[in-house]
Amino acid sequence: MKAIAAFLCGLMLGVGLIVSQMTNPGKVIAFLDISGHWDPSLALVMGAALLAAFAGFAWVERRGRPLLAGELALPPRWPVDRQLVVGAALFGIGWGIGGFCPGPGLVGTAALSVDAAVFTAAMLVGMVAANRFAAGGASSARRSFSRQPSDNAQ
């Protein structure tokens, strides 16, 4: 049941990325290019997505537990640390260069776009490198710490 729910969620999210044209990197860069001819479409995508997601989170947090699992497994909302800011800044630079973020990279690759596949292959290398770096920096003391960076990833 859990796998079916996750599959349907991935499918719906992927179709949403296609319908909103966020799988088109030129469209994303046109949104980020606020000093040129600005295409505000992505702002509407985020606004509509936030509205729908907000309803879902408000409902499930009031309910206390999800329908198909024992408990909610949500990452911490705070504190803000240096890792978060540095990581987000690097992500934004890559997003601005290519116009791809992880979802559109995967969906574009599945749509047999060679450009998306090149991006996605490099992204996988970057993710493994970051995973290894985090794991390599973890001493045995860090491993016993309950909140490792990779555990509270969103």
Q: Which is nearer to other proteins, 37 or 141 (CB)?
A: 37
Say how far apart CA 107 and CA 11 lie, in whole Å. Answer: 10
Q: How far is the CB of 143 from other proteins (least distance, A)?
A: 10
12 binds other proteins (CB under 8 A): yes
CA angle 60, 66, 71 (to 5 degrees): 110
**Which residues between 31 and 50 bind other proteins (CB under 8 A)?**
32-42, 44-50
Provide, rounded to whole angstroms, the least separation between the CB of residue 117 and other proteins.
10
Cβ(110)–Cβ(89) below 8 Å = no
Cα 97 to Cα 6, 31, 50, 117, distances in angstroms: 30, 13, 25, 16
Site for other proteins in 65-124 (CB under 8 A): 65-69, 71-80, 83-113, 115-116, 118-124
Q: Is 137 in the site for other proteins (CB under 8 A)?
A: no
